[in-house]
Amino acid sequence: MAREQVYMVESGNELAALAASQINYHVMGYFPITPSTQIAEYLDELKADGKNTVNMIPADGEHGAAGICYGASTAGGRVLNATSANGLLYAIEQLPVQSHTRFPMVLNVVTRSVSGPLDIKCDHSDIMMVLNTGWLIIFAKNPQEVYDFNIIAPKIAEHKDVRLPIIVAYDGFFTSHQKKKVSVFKNDKDVKDFVGPFKADYTSIDVNNPLSIGCYMNEPDYINNHYQLAKVMEKAKDVIKEVFDEFEKFSGRKYNLVNSYMAEDADVIIYALGSSVDTIITAIDDLRKEGKKVGVVWPSVIRPLPKDQIYETVKKAKVIVALDRQDSYNDIGGNLSTELKAVLQEKGATNKVITRVYGLGGRELYIDEAKELFDLGFKAINESVKNYDYYGVVTGNKETKLPIGLKPLTLEMQDNGIEVEMVNGKLEVKNINLRKLTKQAKRFVPGHGACIGCGIFSGLNTFMRGLKGYVVVLFHTGCGMVVSTGYPYTSHRITYVHNLFQNGAATLSGIVEMYKEKQRRGEIPKDLDITFVMVTGDGGADIGMGPIVGTANRNHNLIILEYDNEGYMNTGNQLSYSTPLGHATSTSHVGEAQKGKRFHHKDTPQIMAGTHIPYIFTGSEAFPIDLIKKAAKAQWYANNMGTVYGKILSACPLNWRSEPKLGTKIVKAATDCNFFPLYEIEQGITTLTYDPEKAKSKINFEDWLTMMGKTKHLIDPENKEILEAAKKEIERRFRRLKIMSEHPEL
Amino acid sequence: MLPITNQYGLFEVRFESIGGLGANIAGKMLAEAGLKYLNLNVASFSSYGSEKTGTPIKTFVRFSDPEVPIKINSPVENPHLLVIFHENLINALPVTLGCNENTIIIVNTKKSPSEIQDMLKIPTATIGTVDAIGISLEEKVKFNGILLGAISKAIGFIKPEHIKGIFEDIIGKKYPAVLEANFRAIERGYNEVKIEKVKEKKEYSFKPFAKPSNLIGYENQIIGGLVVNPGNSFSKDLSASRNGLIPVFNSQKCTSCGMCDIVCPDLCMVFIEENGQMIMKGIDYQYCKGCLKCVQICPVKALTEGVEAEYDVKSMTVKLFTEKDTAQNHR
């Protein structure tokens, strides 16, 4: 008999999290990426409220997250992860490791397009990339299925005849963010009973049975390991059917490997995947009233490929219109239709298949478009139509140009009148006057879409005041990038390059070295001076730390500038390693069972100090003269000696839950309470450039915390321990800096 | 139970809003009220991506009777209820696409329904206007409670008590202090909204729903998605991002110290050289999002806080860029 259920209005992500909470996974290793991030957020929120005890590990990137999950799964417990798009691709080399060493876990892939031009919306270019990794893949088409499949998934993956990792995939935004009426199990215990206990055959922490996991294996053994997996994939079809049947008894909801609607007698069938299916069903209801025999077929499982069931459901159709939400650039179609064609060929079928690549990058499918696609199918019965094409592209008007821009900045317009001179091994900077500096044309242009009171452009623009001459910027993915370059617009008046935030420092290294090589070869003028600046958020300084340190070690002539707003704000305020202890974020909630972030903030300038680059600094808009002076020094060092790293503290009123107008005051308070000391490390010598005590501006640590909603709870007496720990650590770090500042040898 | 439905049995709602005003959560609340108190089938989602305040978003809510499933996942084309969360959106976006004479339109504005009709340029409709900005400044709450109160009055089947119940479910536990203020906001929205079937004006016509399209297609998109016109975001109008407050500049008091130019996130302070001196001339309100950081930093009170509705912002605007600053790259 079906277990007791209640109705809710929830989105796919909320339901994936609810299922995970009810199952109470041992470990979740994750790294935030839109649109999958909310799974970790909701799971953390439920944890803070005491609803689960999942050990949530915020990784340093998706590659790290996959590593955490792999390690945790070898240790024999239940493991969860969630990702999307480039995150999935960043993790992809770990996927075959996990599947071919046969450790089950559950990965939610909330489908999103893989950049090219950065697109955060839905298509299937990510999920189709992992078809060849040996993971099981089940695909949910609506929030109800997301919930159900998340309960079904571990039972399939952990089945004694399977023992494979599994992906639950669903459409980004359409399914992940749409809130629908769903039915969920009232009692967590019922869910736990259904999934049952997991007893791993082999674990990495069983000291009585030592074993070697991941041996070095070439021919002739390797192919046999893979053949085992291929056979298990076959077997998995039966197991999935079995678990689907069991789930039907448990929930009252029936699932099949392949599903259909009105396909039995249809002349034209659309073969599709994901959230579009429901829209197509609505179109079918309309067309059936007109007497048109149309139907739709969609798989719930794409690995293993249920080829018999696919063939059985489509075989009677005269024409199948296969809709691919990604392309394989093979002039045949994306993976969905290419595999359909292979299935039909294997079965000796002669149905006509028309492929249309549609809905890339989040382009919606409307009811009238579904009808148009059916019409295309009818046309194809008797006429010749293109077998493979795109649907929904725009030709464009050749006369239409990009929105008009501004004239490029000349050398003169970028002058700042600041003088920089090396005197006795130390740089001296003269002639900084804020009023005069307003004459310098801005390299960033208004019209960007940053939030009200966002500190990013205040800080960056102030820094830019200190640079004279030509500048090329590279932005990591993040708020600053997203809000300043929404196509076909840009808020950059100078040349700007984006790369994903694992890799900006390496990318800019390449640009700088090409510029220098071309100068050496005389291909560009030798007297052309360009200053290269990489801009990252604190998120890019987490996931991109490896290439940042690598760039610093190679000492390229460039500036790495971090705007630190203490969290992954672009994806919705998840904790970063720079988030201070106890601060509330969407992955470090405050509740009965948890009080904000569990570990101290990362000291990035001191990590960079270990690379011994010529210049390191911290600064903020609250101390503009100080920051501009450091910028001028940064430019000199970058152009003459090598890599510079700087950190700018940057207000995020939205996620700090503070008044937008108070941004400057809050970042000033962060310095005046010693949390964010202003200092520089010039050729190894540390100097505090501002001492709150000497300036008679010292404030209490608590005074800073009360200015933000995200930290107010730390004033509460019940959180005294966290407050004291945070205080102790910042005072320790500050004293250390001060002593270093007083002793040039340190 | 539903007053009107389309061919798929759906009562459809579209919110036109800006990130940060609470439209997404308002959509969820409206849907939850329909499920919890009326057992309706519901769905709600928003067409937004990255989490930014100040950028336009659309939120969609669908209701159907319990036995009618909601299958459509695409945006609402012909709304029965259209809610415009900020009056400034009317000129910035084609908010009324797909509306018809049966559409109920709620607008956050001080203006009257017939004035709004002229701004919207629609022949007729049932228009409700409510000064959510004013109420929100007074009650210190977001717009969503106020607008949900107004919505409740306009559509009837969702009652103010239902909205209050959902507010209690969602924020009652975590933020009990703001619950009372939101209850007042819901009531004031319900009581203060002016709803009128406006007189037909033949000079206007309804515009049919159009899918988002772009004149830049695969024939004329520069390869690789490049943008070769530097700084072209200068042509964007961000004035709809403001929440009712603006910085007001008094040149008499100003010393042109340049601090406002340092802290302004929107880079909209206009300094011009006169007789070899840089002089602060004013603000380009096309870009100002009304954060008021400049008011906080100004050492001589040359910048003060003002209520936008009390000023003629257009005449106060000093343009940052003129035609001579612009260029079209013809590559």
Domain CATH number, residue B251 = 3.30.70.20
Which of B156, B176, B197 is a domain's end point? B197
Q: Which residues of A touch B321 (CB under 8 A)?
A: 406
Neighbours of B44 (CB within 10 A): 27
| Alpha helices per DSSP H over A521-576 | 540-543, 545-554
**Is A368 inside a domain boundary?**
yes
Q: Quick check: B233 contacting A, CB < 8 Å?
A: yes
Angle between helices B176-192 and B143-155 (to 10 degrees): 40
| Spatial separation of the C-alpha atoms in residues A589 and A567, rounded to whole Å | 13
Q: Are strands B10-18 and A530-537 parallel, antiparallel or unpaired?
A: unpaired
Residue A381 three-state SS: helix
| Spatial separation of the C-alpha atoms in residues B9 and B171, rounded to whole Å | 32
The nearest alpha carbon in chain B to A483 belongs to: B52
Looking at chain B from residue 245 to 264, which residues have their Cβ under 8 Å from any Cβ of chain A? 256-259, 261-264
**Is B3 inside a domain boundary?**
no
Phi, psi of A321 (to 5 degrees): -95, 110
**Is B290 inside a domain boundary?**
yes
* Same domain for B243 and B168: no
Q: Is the peptide bond before A304 cis (omega within 30 degrees of 0)?
A: yes
Hey, what are B287's tokens? Answer: 């870009």
Please give the pLDDT value at position A105: 98
The nearest alpha carbon in chain B to A654 belongs to: B53
Which has the closest alpha carbon to A421: A623, A629, A628?
A629
Q: Quick check: B228 contacting A, CB < 8 Å?
A: yes
- How many domains, in total, are found in chain B? 2
* Same domain for A476 and A355: no
Which of B197, B212, B244 is a domain's end point? B197
Residue-wise burial string across A585-612, b where 16 or more C-beta atoms lie within 10 A, e elsewhere: bbbbbbbeebbbbeebbbbbbebbbebe
- How many domains, in total, are found in chain A? 3
* Same domain for A129 and A106: yes
Please give the pLDDT value at position A661: 97
* Same domain for A236 and A263: no
**Is A283 inside a domain boundary?**
yes
Q: Do A660 and B257 touch (CB under 8 A)?
A: no
Q: Which residues of B touch A34 (CB under 8 A)?
A: 49-50
Task: List chain A residues with pLDDT less than 50.
Answer: none
Which of B197, B219, B252 is a domain's end point? B197
C-alpha torsion sign, points A442, A446, A452, A456: negative
**Is B225 inside a domain boundary?**
no
* Residue B330 in this model has a pLDDT that exceeds 70: no
Q: Is A736 exposed, middle or buried (0-12, 13-18, 19+ CB in 10 A)?
A: middle
Q: Do A405 and B262 touch (CB under 8 A)?
A: no
Hey, what are B122's tokens? Answer: 């629609």
| Spatial separation of the C-alpha atoms in residues A14 and A42, rounded to whole Å | 6
| Spatial separation of the C-alpha atoms in residues B301 and B278, rounded to whole Å | 19
* Residue B49 in this model has a pLDDT that exceeds 60: no
Q: Cβ distance B186 to B150 under 8 Å?
A: no
Please give the pLDDT value at position A425: 85
* Residue range of the domain that includes A270: 258-390
Of B54, B232, B297, Cβ closest to residue A451: B54
**Is B304 inside a domain boundary?**
yes
HEC string for A467-524: CCCEEEEEEECCHHHHHHCCCCCCCECCCEEEECCCCHHHHHHHHHHHHHHHHHCCCC
* Same domain for B146 and B26: yes
Neighbours of B17 (CB within 10 A): 30
* Same domain for B182 and B129: yes
**pLDDT tens readout for residues A327-368:** 999 999 999 999 999 999 999 999 999 999 999 999 999 999
Q: Cβ distance B224 to A398 under 8 Å?
A: no
* Same domain for B166 and B263: no
* Same domain for A320 and A246: no
CATH of the domain at A668: 3.40.50.970
Q: What is the DSSP string of A568-620?
A: BTTTTSB--TTSPTT--BTTB-BSSS-BS-SSPPP-HHHHHHTTT-SEEEEEE
| Spatial separation of the C-alpha atoms in residues A701 and A714, rounded to whole Å | 11
Q: Which of A401-410, B63-72, B213-222 has the lowest mean pLDDT?
A: B213-222
* Same domain for A461 and A320: no
| Spatial separation of the C-alpha atoms in residues A258 and A297, rounded to whole Å | 7
* Same domain for B181 and B71: yes
Instruction: Chain B: give the shortest CA distance to residue A178, in Å.
Output: 4
Q: Quick check: B222 contacting A, CB < 8 Å?
A: yes
**Is B331 inside a domain boundary?**
no
Q: Do B262 and A434 touch (CB under 8 A)?
A: yes
Of B227, B273, B321, Cβ closest to residue A402: B227
Torsion, CA A271, CA A276, CA A279, CA A281, rounded to 10: 30
* Mean pLDDT confidence for B129-136: 93
* Same domain for A235 and A266: no
| Spatial separation of the C-alpha atoms in residues B49 and B171, rounded to whole Å | 24
* Same domain for B243 and B189: no
Which has the closest alpha carbon to A142: A277, A250, A34?
A277
Q: Which residues of B touch A447 (CB under 8 A)?
A: 233-236, 238, 287
* Same domain for A266 and A246: no
Instruction: Chain B: give the shortest CA distance to residue A457, in Å.
Output: 5
Q: Taking the model in full, what pTM does it have?
A: 0.94
Q: Which residues of B touch A394 (CB under 8 A)?
A: 213-214, 216-218
Q: How confident is the model at residue B142 (pLDDT cuts 50, 70, 90)?
A: confident
* Residue B175 in this model has a pLDDT that exceeds 80: no
Q: Between B175 and B313, where is the model more confident?
A: B313
| Spatial separation of the C-alpha atoms in residues A154 and A81, rounded to whole Å | 12
Please give the pLDDT value at position B309: 87
* Residue B215 in this model has a pLDDT that exceeds 80: no
**Is A208 inside a domain boundary?**
no
| Spatial separation of the C-alpha atoms in residues B127 and A167, rounded to whole Å | 48
Which has the closest alpha carbon to A605: A575, A634, A647?
A647
**Is A202 inside a domain boundary?**
no
Q: Which residues of A touch B220 (CB under 8 A)?
A: 396-398, 400-401
| Spatial separation of the C-alpha atoms in residues B131 and A213, rounded to whole Å | 66
* Same domain for A269 and A244: no
| Spatial separation of the C-alpha atoms in residues A314 and B22, rounded to whole Å | 45
CA A455 to centroid of chain Cα atoms: 22
* Same domain for A239 and A269: no
Q: Cβ distance B91 to B49 under 8 Å?
A: no
Please give the pLDDT value at position B55: 73
Q: What residues does A168 pair with on adjacent strands?
A: A108, A138
* Residue B173 in this model has a pLDDT that exceeds 90: no
H helix or E strand, kind and range, residue A672: helix A663-672
Q: Do A458 and B54 touch (CB under 8 A)?
A: no
Q: Cβ distance A201 to A162 under 8 Å?
A: no
| Spatial separation of the C-alpha atoms in residues B22 and A58, rounded to whole Å | 28
Of A434, A457, A654, Cβ closest to residue B257: A434
Q: Do A278 and B296 touch (CB under 8 A)?
A: no
- What counts of helices (H) and strands (E) characterise chain A? 24, 26
Instruction: Chain A: give the shortest CA distance to residue B222, in Å.
Output: 9
* Residue range of the domain that includes B244: 230-325
Whole-number average pLDDT of chain B? 92
Phi, psi of A421 (to 5 degrees): -145, 140
* Same domain for B143 and B22: yes
Q: Which residues of A touch B329 (CB under 8 A)?
A: 402, 405
* Same domain for B163 and B41: yes
**Is A362 inside a domain boundary?**
yes
* A412 Cβ neighbours under 8 A, 6+ residues apart: none
Q: Which residues of A touch B279 (CB under 8 A)?
A: none
Residue A278 three-state SS: helix
* Residue B276 in this model has a pLDDT that exceeds 80: yes
**Is B64 inside a domain boundary?**
yes
* Same domain for B255 and B111: no
CA angle B322, B328, B331 (to 5 degrees): 165
* Same domain for A460 and A363: no
Q: How far apart are the first and last CA of chain B?
A: 59
Q: How far apart are the first and last CA of chain A?
A: 72
How is residue B95 annotated by DSSP?
Answer: T
Neighbours of B209 (CB within 10 A): 17
Give the residue carrying structure tokens 């390229």. A556
Instruction: Select the highest-mean-pLDDT range: A73-87, B60-74, B169-183, B236-250.
Output: A73-87
* Residue B53 in this model has a pLDDT that exceeds 80: no
Q: Cβ distance B73 to A180 under 8 Å?
A: no
* Mean pLDDT confidence for B252-273: 98
* Same domain for B302 and B241: yes
**pLDDT tens readout for residues A608-657:** 999 999 999 999 999 999 999 999 999 999 999 999 999 999 999 999 99
How is residue B168 annotated by DSSP?
Answer: I
* B12 Cβ neighbours under 8 A, 6+ residues apart: B6, B60, B61, B62, B63, B76, B78, B79, B80, B81
* Same domain for A528 and A657: yes
CATH of the domain at A280: 3.40.50.920
**Is B235 inside a domain boundary?**
yes
Strand arrangement of the beta sheet that strand A27-30 belongs to? A55-58, A27-30, A79-83, A106-111, A166-171, A136-140, A301-303
Q: Which residues of B touch A624 (CB under 8 A)?
A: 259, 262
Please give the pLDDT value at position A629: 98
Of B52, B263, B268, Cβ closest to residue A451: B52
Q: Quick check: B170 contacting A, CB < 8 Å?
A: no
Q: What residues does A419 pair with on adjacent strands?
A: A430
**Is A528 inside a domain boundary?**
yes
Please give the pLDDT value at position B74: 87
Neighbours of A237 (CB within 10 A): 17
| Number of inter-chain CB pairs under 8 A, A vs B | 293
Of all residues in chain B, the percent with pLDDT exceeding 70 is: 96
**Is A210 inside a domain boundary?**
no
CA B72 to centroid of chain Cα atoms: 25
For residue B290, CA distances in Å to A191, A224, A451, A667, B19 come to: 49, 66, 11, 19, 15
Residue A536 three-state SS: strand
Residue A534 three-state SS: strand
* Same domain for A503 and A446: yes
Q: Is A422 exposed, middle or buried (0-12, 13-18, 19+ CB in 10 A)?
A: exposed
Phi, psi of A586 (to 5 degrees): -75, -10
* Same domain for B41 and B153: yes
| Spatial separation of the C-alpha atoms in residues A384 and A577, rounded to whole Å | 58
Angle between helices A143-157 and A188-195 (to 10 degrees): 40
Q: Which residues of A touch B273 (CB under 8 A)?
A: 439
Q: How confident is the model at residue B51 (pLDDT cuts 50, 70, 90)?
A: very low
* Same domain for B123 and B58: yes
**Is A323 inside a domain boundary?**
yes
Q: Which of A395-399, B231-235, B304-308 has the lowest mean pLDDT?
A: A395-399
CATH of the domain at B192: 3.40.920.10
Please give the pLDDT value at position B18: 82
**Is B218 inside a domain boundary?**
no
Neighbours of A210 (CB within 10 A): 7
